[in-house]
């Protein structure tokens, strides 16, 4: 906006036009910020719903996959939240499969990246301290994805994770027979 001295030197019609333009720009900025908030809400809704869909596609087959691998799953839970003693969420697990002495933490992604693998490995390091009832369990990690960035399936494998992939009609464990899963 023009300074008071500059406004006094310009004709009234010009000063009024500048005030109207300034008011219009401020209102436009507010409308843009409101639109950005709405877009962010829609994006979050879409991302959440898409994630739930991918988890729902993976979940039905994983119990049989791990049974075939020798881990007999008796319970499967989706979107498991772990809270601290103040009720704050400290961790969330997409799928948690378990039996009486083993558990498999499954992270589900549309496209798996190295950051996703690193994030899962970090979650697994703290799993037992956050989920005390599993302190005496063998804990395994698994990453499930529709697609994997180049070489990321090998990266997951080398870090001791089960690699779950779609083969077009269903999900399968992609690890070879010599794979030895890491336990946490």
Rounded Cα distance, 100 and 103, in Å: 8
The model's pTM is 0.66
The pLDDT tens digits for 148-173 are: 999 999 999 999 999 998 765 567 78
Q: Has residue 2 got a pLDDT over 90?
A: no
What phi and psi, each to the nearest 5 degrees, are found at residue 70? 105, 5
**What's the CATH code, domain 58-173?**
3.40.1350.10
Each residue's pLDDT tens digit, 80-118: 888 888 888 888 899 999 999 999 999 989 889 999 999
- How does pLDDT run across 22-67, given as a tens digit for each residue? 888 888 888 888 878 877 776 666 556 666 656 666 666 788 888 8
**DSSP label of 133:** G
In this prediction, residue 64 carries a pLDDT of: 82
- Each domain of the chain, given as residue ranges in start order, spans 58-173
Cα separation, 133 vs 149, whole angstroms: 35
Residue 135: C-alpha distances to residues 87, 131, 138, 154, 180 (Å): 21, 7, 8, 29, 21
Evaluate the CA torsion angle 64, 70, 75, 79 in order and state its sign.
Answer: negative
């Amino acid at each position: 906006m023009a300074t008071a001295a500059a406004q006094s030197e310009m004709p009234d019609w010009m000063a009024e036009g500048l005030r109207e333009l300034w008011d219009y720009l401020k209102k436009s900025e507010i409308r843009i910020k409101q639109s950005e908030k709405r877009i962010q809400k829609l994006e979050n809704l879409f991302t959440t719903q898409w994630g739930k869909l991918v988890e729902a596609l993976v979940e039905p087959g994983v119990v049989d996959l791990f049974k075939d691998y020798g881990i007999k799953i008796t319970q499967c839970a989706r979107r498991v939240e772990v809270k601290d003693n103040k009720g704050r969420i400290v961790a969330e697990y997409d799928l948690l499969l378990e039996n009486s002495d083993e558990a498999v933490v499954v992270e589900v992604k549309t496209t798996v990246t190295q950051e996703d693998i690193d994030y899962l490995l970090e979650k697994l390091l703290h799993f037992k301290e956050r989920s005390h009832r599993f302190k005496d369990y063998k804990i395994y990690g698994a990453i499930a994805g529709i697609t994997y960035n180049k070489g990321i399936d090998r990266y997951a494998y080398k870090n001791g994770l089960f690699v779950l992939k779609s083969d077009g009609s269903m999900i399968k464990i992609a690890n070879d027979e010599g794979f030895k899963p890491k336990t946490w």
